[in-house]
Amino acid sequence: MATIRSELTTQAPADEVWAAVRDIGALHTRLVPGFVVDTRLEPGARIVTFVNGVTLREPIVTLDDEGRRLVWTAEGGRAQHYNAALQVASLSGGATSVVWTADFLPDELHAYFSRAIEAGMAAMQAALDKLAA
């Protein structure tokens, strides 16, 4: 199973960053606008449409307010298996870290998911940096 771990740092307060992450139905407006173009909620999951036209059902596995950690999986798309986590942490000096870890099969999708996560993190960085202003 392949793993990708990507991290960003922002000056936005951790509580505000976590509020944007935990708002699971607002990916397209609060967390990764431009990378995700629509999000709809259904019981236990969200339906996510990405800028490239791919639509996936993402069951929510864990929404941990104490640990500031969101875990989801994905149904549909190219992967046989996909699960991911976003974790928010306070850093010294008032900065905030966000780590996106994704595990997936088959391994051959590594380049595809690397590009997707890089684009998602860029959108997230831009959205979260606006919270710091």
First-last CA distance in the chain: 39
51-102 confidence digits (pLDDT tens) = 999 999 999 999 999 999 999 999 999 999 999 999 999 999 999 999 999 9
Tokens standing for residue 104? 């997936």
Separation CA 73–CA 77 (nearest Å): 12
The pTM assigned to this predicted structure is 0.95
What sign for the dihedral angle of Cα 100, 62, 27, 34?
Answer: positive
The CATH T-level fold of domain 2-128 is Alpha-D-Glucose-1,6-Bisphosphate; Chain A, domain 4 (3.30.530)
Separation CA 119–CA 127 (nearest Å): 13
30-48 confidence digits (pLDDT tens) = 999 999 999 999 999 999 9
Tokens standing for residue 93? 């000096």
Q: 45: which residues sit within 8 A by CB, 6+ positions away?
A: 57, 58, 59, 60
